[in-house]
Structure formats: C-alpha cells, structure tokens
Structure 1
C-alpha cells in the first residue's frame, strides 16, 4: 500500500476533462482540414492542414498526460481505500496504454477495477456499461480512422463516423472521470474503508 495519504482527485479530474474536450474539438477541425487538403491540394490548404494537425498534436498530448496523471492518482487512492482489491500496479497502469494489442482491452479492465475499489457505491452493471460505452466509442474512432486513412481516403461518411465516435468517447470518458472522482472524494470525506465489490 502507498505510504502517501489518498487525496481527492477532483482538481486533476477537471484538468483532464477540459483537456480531453478541447482535444476532441481540435480533432474535428483537424479532420475537416485534412479532407479539404485531400479534395483541394493547394499550398494554402496544405499549410492550414499542417498547422491544424500540429495544434491537435499538442492538444492530444496534453490530454493524454493529464488523463494518465489522473488515472495514476485514482489508482493510488483505490489501493489505499481498498487494500485487498485487485488494482493494477503503478507501472502497468500507465504501461498498458502503450503496449500494442494489450492497449485494446487491458486499460478498460483497469478502469473497471479502479472504479470498483474506489467505493462501495460503485454500481454494477450501470457503471460497467458506462465504461464499456466509452471504450466502444474510442475503438470505433480508431477503426474508422484506419479505414479512412488506408482504404477510403477523403470519405465524408467515414469522417463523420470517426469524429462522432471521437466526440462520444471524449464525452463518455469525461463522465467516467467524474464518476470515479466523485466516488473517491465521497469515500475520502467519509473516511470509511471500501468493502470489496465483486465483478459482475
């Protein structure tokens, strides 16, 4: 168990939510400019597209960092609140996101494990469904991007699908962040250990 006392994750949650929302909006503009460059490959369009892509990269990198910092905090809190719960190790909590193939399913399970260990108020299957919807939207975005980039470049229909999934994933992960952060803050305020919650 961590020697550091658990701290409320709400401030980190707000920072991560804001950065994720901004990155999702930037991604929509980036995708529009990329399609515009594909349909009208002028120097001006190439410059605008490159600039928008660079801004998006900065935005998504900030969102990733803040999300992972938040995730590390709530993982540490969950372990302190439920010492017997099955939560991932600190290194694997972050490393799983960058491991090919593993990052398609393991991080989702980690978020579920952290949520269950955060509070006895975690609700199965309601909260599990929320996490699953977020993960499905995120995977849908990635698949649509791959298809658009490699098989049907410039497709407006796939662009709409990809960006709809991106916005949905951003909104849903914002709710997931809020749910776990609120549960932990309430539990920390009550100073009551969490009883283990069995997965459904």
Structure 2
C-alpha cells in the first residue's frame, strides 16, 4: 500500500483569497457606515452601521478561519518538503496570532519560514519583501484605525488611509498565499511518488 502524495492546498488558497478580498471590501463599507453615524447620529445610521458591521464580522471570521487552515496545511507541507527546516509547531502556527504583542511580530516570521521551507526557489529579496510589505500594510492599518478612533473619530482622512491600507494588505496577502501555494505545488509535484502500475 502506498501513501497518497500530498498536494498543495489550492482549494484552500482560492477560498482564503476570496474571503480575504470580501472582508476587505466589507471593511470599506463598514468604515464608511461607522463614520456616517459618528457625523450624523440617527436611528437609520445606527441601524445601517450596526448591520454592516455585523456582516463584516461574519465575513472577516470566515476569512481568518480559511487563512489559518491554509497556513496550517502549508506548514505541514513545508515540514514534509524540508524536514530539517525550522518551521513553527502546528499549535503555535495558529496560536501566535491570538497572543497580544506577539501577534505583531511572530506570525510574519512564521509565514517567511514556511515559504522558505516550501521550496529552494523561495527568493529572499522578492518573496521576503512581499511578505514584509503585506505585514507593514496590515500593522499600519491596525495602528491607523486605533489612532483615528482615539484622536479624530469620524475623520475622513483617517478613514481613507485606513481603508487604503486594508485593501493593500488584502491584495498583498492574496499574492503571498498564491506564491507559497505555487512553490509547494511545484515542489510536491517534483517529489510525488509515481503511481504504481496496474497489475494485470
């Protein structure tokens, strides 16, 4: 009996990319609705901002779950492709995202480690820069949202910057997912065992 060859998680990758894009778009509508309510406090604006915020939370939750499942699968593939590489444990791959302060630094390192272990074709300059750009956009978005809510709630300038960073982070993360999955697909295809000949 032969073990089934592992495959790159393309379905998970596409699902995560779609959910991340949807969450970014939903966040734009959420931000606009919340700002509208902060400027013109009416029952209608409250209802609209509450409804859109609820939709955003649902979509973002789906995006987070799909991304983390994709990341965990990619980690497993990377470990199989390069057993000697330093990759995070299965639990820490997901858990690091939920630990305050740690989640501002460690997950970026994990994504780079997984990408590097996925293939010798990982390019330190191009691929690591891509991950860094995504991380900068994501952290900058979070900082802008917090700063804007405390210093100038309802500011159009803060809203535009925050949502531009959110959209940029979503696009860049989609490219990171695409790159790592493509590397694993090529590597796993090259190392996959040949199918046994049918016995006649």
TM-score tier by shorter-chain length is over 0.9
CA distance in 1, matches of 2:67, 2:111: 12
- Contact 1:30/1:53 (<8 A) preserved: yes
2:96 is matched with: 96
Gaps of 5+ in 1: 193-200
1:27 is matched with: 27
> Is 1:190 matched with 2:172?
no
- TM-score norm. by structure 1 comes to 0.93
Gaps of 5+ in 2: 193-200
Secondary structure at 2:32's aligned position in 1? helix
- Contact 1:145/1:162 (<8 A) preserved: yes
User: Deviations 1:67-119 (Å, cap 9, x if unpaired)?
Assistant: 00000000000000000000000000000000000000100000000000000
- TM-score norm. by structure 2 comes to 0.93
In the TM superposition, structure 1's runs of 4+ consecutive aligned residues that sit over 4 Å from their partners are none
CA distance in 2, matches of 1:56, 1:64: 12
Task: Compute the RMSD of aligned alpha carbons.
Answer: 1.2
Give aligned pairs, total: 190
Cα distance change on mapping 1:40 and 1:186 into 2, 3 Å: same
Secondary structure at 1:44's aligned position in 2? helix
User: Deviations 1:17-51 (Å, cap 9, x if unpaired)?
Assistant: 00000000000000000000011100001000000
Deviation (angstroms), 1:7? 2.4
